[in-house]
A = this chain, B = another copy of it.
Amino acid sequence: MIDSTLFREAMAHVSSAVSIVTTDGEAGRTGMTVSAVCSVTDTPPTLLVCINRNSRSHDIFLHNGVFCVNVLNADHQELSGLFASKADQESRFSQAIWHKGVTGSPILEDAVVSFDCRIDTISDVGTHSVIFGVIQNIEIRHSCQALVYFRRRYHALDVQLETQT
């Protein structure tokens, strides 16, 4: 059996985009930093996000039934840290500009791209809920560099190699 320390060390070697996933609705507004986001299918347009069931935000997402994945740009390092910290939700949201998406979820004004989703299904896997969201609306901003997390450090995509495909 692979122990959790080795698992985390190995996963730190898989680069990922960094996102703030948000929701608002009957259960209130919440947001948290996540890297476990994945494209699933374009028919219907679906992505998934994995959230620990012990997270305080978990039940708020499920109750509201909607969420928005806001993919961070290279200037969002501090915001990423803030939404991963113990700061209360009011303080978190006060540090950036947001508008309301079609689902009611907060959309980060200068995210690289925002996916506004309605929860379709949820799979429980170990400690986490895998939440599948059907995308209701998309906002893309073409001018920003992406924030990437790799080996427990932030990186900006900078060196562009020649495309082979």
> In the complex, are the beta carbons of A163 and B158 less than 8 A apart?
no
- A36 interface contact, C-beta 8 A: yes
Write the nearest CB–CB distance from A68 to chain B, whole angstroms: 13
- A154 interface contact, C-beta 8 A: yes
- By a CB distance below 8 angstroms, the chain B residues around A136 are 2
> In the complex, are the beta carbons of A113 and B40 less than 8 A apart?
no
Distance between Cα atoms of A152 and B88 in the complex (Å):
37
Interface digits, A11-54 against B, CB 8 Å rule (1 contact, 0 not)?
10111110000000000000000011111111111101010100
> In the complex, are the beta carbons of B42 and A130 less than 8 A apart?
no
Name the segment of A56-64, A72-80, A90-98 touching the other chain.
Answer: A72-80
Q: Chain A residues in contact with chain B, CB under 8 A?
A: 1-2, 4, 6-11, 13-17, 35-46, 48, 50, 52, 71, 74, 77-78, 80-81, 84-85, 112-113, 115, 121, 123, 125-128, 130, 132, 135-138, 140, 146, 148, 150, 152-165
- Which residue of the partner chain B has the closest CB to A116? B2
Distance between Cα atoms of A159 and B132 in the complex (Å):
33
> In the complex, are the beta carbons of A4 and B43 less than 8 A apart?
yes
6 example contacts (A-B, Cβ-Cβ < 8 A) are as follows: A10-B115, A15-B15, A40-B128, A42-B126, A48-B48, A77-B164
Choice from B11, B39, B74, B78 contacting A14 with Cβ under 8 Å: B39
> In the complex, are the beta carbons of B160 and A159 less than 8 A apart?
no
Known: A41-B52, A41-B128, A81-B165. 15 other contacts (CB 8 A): A13-B140, A14-B37, A14-B146, A37-B38, A41-B50, A41-B127, A46-B125, A74-B161, A77-B164, A78-B164, A123-B123, A148-B157, A150-B157, A154-B160, A155-B157
